[in-house]
Chain A
């Protein structure tokens, strides 16, 4: 996987989530991007059951279990500021067995679904973030395939982002951090999605017009 930047696109003034997504995808199509199927990234939250905390004296931790349609046979499990485990899909079966120790916060299952666009060496995914039946925001993921070192291609990525996001272009993702020479991997993308989902969860619910 190449260096990837995941960001949130704010909903346009006076428009719904769906309309803003359409505006973005139209811009991409005018640029010359080709539609290439759909994508989906989802995230479930688990917290340590009260019974396990007992004498350990530590606050309950949140564990996120995520899936990415780009890697259909994999499952990503991560802790905020902690390690990110990449496992195969049997990990979901294991979470069922661990029911008594890790409770799933069912209401907080969040996902983003949308279209994939290929534009030369860039892969752009624009998705609608939903929690249950309500649309809560828009996610934009841009991957620059040929490069796996963030510091080598961030300026190029930024320039491309500006061409279709304009003033909504994000800053450098925090996962790039201080280790600019480290090889970028899928786990870094999932961490970015986790941060995005957490941010959206905390935001005010998008007004009713967005649910269409």
Chain B
């Protein structure tokens, strides 16, 4: 049922297929400062940007074995920012030489009644979490260093508890399908962050 593989199809039905290229790693809390320091030096010069987001993951169960997953994210510290709805496809398997995880992605900015609307469509919330961290940019690459907090009481974002004693580090690029040289640039950047953090392609299926 899933849409056909999109890696080779830059344009389908008049719209450009966007792919997300992703590398992930993590650092323990006590190494955060040195990582931030190095990122500030390597990345584009801008005011240090922090974020506090609340993300909810919704599932739509159908006849198919795998439910349809949508991620709804809102900013808790920027009033008036639109909600962000994201669809992420299955990781494209195949090229072992490709250095990053590649998956189809659709990003949509929406009004605030997103959760009510998703429920009306038949989606049900599977889980939610709060993400707090730092954001850096280098050209089209986005680097986020953040901590995930578990929400203790559903719907109440004030009572949270850190999930681990570490920070998740993600290097990502959203680009049109078919531009594989992007993952080479990502790998070169990731080299510069060693040995503070090792960013690699992590196959979610292997973790389950």
Contacts and interface: CB of A to CB of B under 8 A. Distances in A.
Interface stretch (A33-41, A50-58, A160-168, A193-201): A50-58
Nearest to B113: A83
B5 interface: no
Contacts of A54: 61-63
Interface stretch (B102-110, B131-139, B157-165, B191-199): B102-110
B120 A61 contact: yes
A7 B61 CA distance: 39
B3 A97 contact: yes
A83 B120 contact: yes
B106 A52 contact: no
B97 interface: no
A151 interface: no
A142 to B, nearest CB: 25
A92 interface: yes
A157 B122 CA distance: 39
A18 interface: no
A101 B60 contact: yes
Interface string A77-107: 1010011111110111110111111100000
A115 interface: no
B65 to A, nearest CB: 12
Contacts of A79: 117, 120
Contacts of A94: 85, 87, 106, 108
A101 B117 contact: no
B114 A85 contact: yes
B68 interface: yes
A83 B117 contact: yes
A49 interface: yes
A54 B63 CA distance: 8
Given A52-B61, A54-B61, A92-B15, 5 more contacts: A51-B63, A83-B113, A85-B113, A97-B87, A101-B68
19 contacts: A48-B121, A56-B122, A79-B117, A82-B117, A83-B116, A84-B113, A85-B111, A87-B108, A88-B108, A90-B107, A94-B108, A96-B12, A97-B3, A97-B68, A97-B106, A99-B3, A100-B62, A102-B121, A187-B111
Closest 10 CB pairs of A and B: A51-B63, A100-B1, A86-B111, A85-B117, A87-B110, A90-B108, A52-B62, A83-B116, A83-B113, A83-B117
Interface of A: 48-49, 51-52, 54, 56, 61, 63, 77, 79, 82-88, 90-94, 96-102, 187
